[in-house]
Each structure stands twice: as structure tokens, then as C-alpha cells.
Amino acid sequence: MLIEKIGIFGGTGFVGTCIANEIAELGPRVRIFTRSRDRARHLWPLPNTEVIEIDPNNESDIAEQISKCDAIINLAGIVNEKRDNGAEFRQVHTELTRMIIKACLDASVKRYVHMSALNAEPFAASYYLRTKGEAENAAMAAHDAGLPTTVFRPSVIFGPNDSFFNRFAKLLRISPALPLACARTKFQPVFVGDVATAIIGALTDRTTFGVRYDLGGPEVETLLNLVRYVAKLVHSKSAIIPLGRTMSTLQANVFEYFPGKPFSRDNLRSASEDSVCRHDNGLVQLGIKPTAIGEVVPAYLGDKFERMRYYDFRSHARRQ
């Protein structure tokens, strides 16, 4: 299958930036769709890459841009919304996905790759996971309708500029104590370079058509152990205080109204369930050796982590 033009929704974010950098090295043309071109300044210098400003609520605009692509990668997603009612989650995750899929089918796009999340189900406890599940099912229905589709379901993703280890590192550096909600929840952190490799490789791999892949790293750890690991890396003496269910709920109810929502009620619902691969690890199935936390995180939590680049870590990550 010849893929010459790849469109990416959500391409300006953490995972999208990594994927765009990787594809730029391989040769195909990349078209990154965003509601604000200025937010993608870091992608402007990439070779063979266009950053295109579109209205994500305009179906005809989306259809016009998709018609110029051979393949679409959909990474669009948010982790919080202004109100705790699911409306914004449904708009970004479910409705946008349905518009993208329809445009792909109408334009006879050759390939569609969709990024969901572990535990995404239409009847999940959180709006985030519920709408991710709706979008995932819509994607697989599109496969049955003739659009070659693959779905990836990662656990929490780590790497330079992530919002997981970096966020805890920042908090541990400035706070004498860190009350930690959902401390016993288990995660299987997966390296962003491995996720990018899986997604890009799947574009032309017919064996991945119609398959959903759980993605995780080689380690399963509680949130408490992961935060303790970060504290050790940044030489923090901050007291980490695990919270039970009641206090976790109280924290979410308070932080719900903080600027930027550092921890919302919907985050609590999502984090109340272990984020680990339920089935075989998709990375292993695809011949990718999952990168351990210790191979990458100590480098970018060091003094010069801001200058690290995604491809530096990919080149050092051990793979089959």
C-alpha cells in the first residue's frame, strides 16, 4: 500500500509532535490539522510538513482537507472540560471522530489509524473514557464499512514534555507535601517513541487492519510507586501522602474549580480503575520491545531535559 500524504488530527500535541517528527524523517508528506496554526510553531520547520488551520466543527472543511490525504491518523483528544457534563468530551472525541470517519469513507481514504485509551468503553465511569469508547467503536464500525482501520489503546504515555512524570516532578520540586489521590491505582506507562513506532508502522501493515491494540510498557506500577520514583530522580524530600477514596473525592471536588483543573472529578473517575493491558501487549505483538521507564525518564527529568528531542530517545531506545 502506497501512502504519500498523511493527515494528522491532534498533531500539535505531545504524541502528535513525536509522530510528525518521525514521519518527516521517512519521506511522506504530512498535513497537520489544527484550530490554531500559531500553536504549531514548533512544527513549522519540519520538512514535507504543512500545518493547516481548520474549524473542527465544520464538516465541509474537514471533508475538503481529508480528500487530499491517503491516510488519516486521529489523535484528537482532551483530558478535561469546562463543565462536568461530558459535552466537550463528546464533541472532541465522539462527534469529531464521526465527521472524520465519514469524510474518509466519502473520499475513499486508504487508511485510518485511531488512538483511543485503555479502559475506553461506551459505559465507562468517566466521560473521558466513555466518549473515547464511543469513538473507538465508531472507528471499528467504519472498518466494517470499508475503511481499513486500526485502533491503539495506550496506558499513560511518557517521554520528553509529557504531562505525567513532568507534572509530578514540578509539584515535588515546589511543594513540601504532595497529597496523592488514587495512589494504589496501577499504570503501565508506555514510551511515546514506541507508540509512534506502532502507529507509523501500522499504516502500511495489512495484518493490523481491523485490530485493537492495548499498548503498555514493560512495568506495571502503582501511582504511588511512580511518584516516589520521580521524587528520587529530582532529589525531592516532599512528603507523599496517599489519599483514600473519601479524601481523593474531596481533592477532586476542590481542584475541579482551580485554574487549569489540575485534578478534576472526571479525572478521579478515570483514575479509579487500573490502566494496564487487559490483553496481549500490542507492542510485543508488533515486534516492538517496550522501552522501560529507566531508559528514558532519568534523562529528561535532569537539568537539561528541555533541550532533549523525541528522536534522540528513539535512537537510544532498545527495540527488536
The strand pairing partners of 222, in sequence order, are 186
Instruction: Report residue 243 CA to chain centroid gap.
Output: 26
256-310 residue pLDDT tens: 999 889 999 999 999 999 999 998 999 999 999 999 999 999 999 975 444 444 4
Distance of alpha carbon 192 from alpha carbon 295, whole angstroms:
13
- Which DSSP state fits 94? I
Short-list 20, 51, 53, CA closest to 36: 53
The strand pairing partners of 31, in sequence order, are 7, 50
pLDDT at 148: 98
45-68 residue pLDDT tens: 999 999 999 999 999 999 999 999
pLDDT at 25: 87
The pLDDT > 90 percentage for the chain reads 90
Cβ(215)–Cβ(277) under 8 Å? Answer: yes
The strand pairing partners of 49, in sequence order, are 30
Q: Which residue has the higher pLDDT, 313 or 133?
A: 133
The SS3 of residue 225 is: helix
Residue type at 243 in one-letter notation: L
91-145 residue pLDDT tens: 999 999 999 999 999 999 999 999 999 999 999 999 999 999 999 999 999 999 9
- Which DSSP state fits 93? I
Domain 5-159+190-216+276-291 belongs to what architecture? 3-Layer(aba) Sandwich (3.40)
**Structural element, H or E, at residue 151:** strand 149-154
Pairing between β-strand 111-115 and β-strand 149-154 as defined by DSSP bridges = parallel
pLDDT at 303: 54
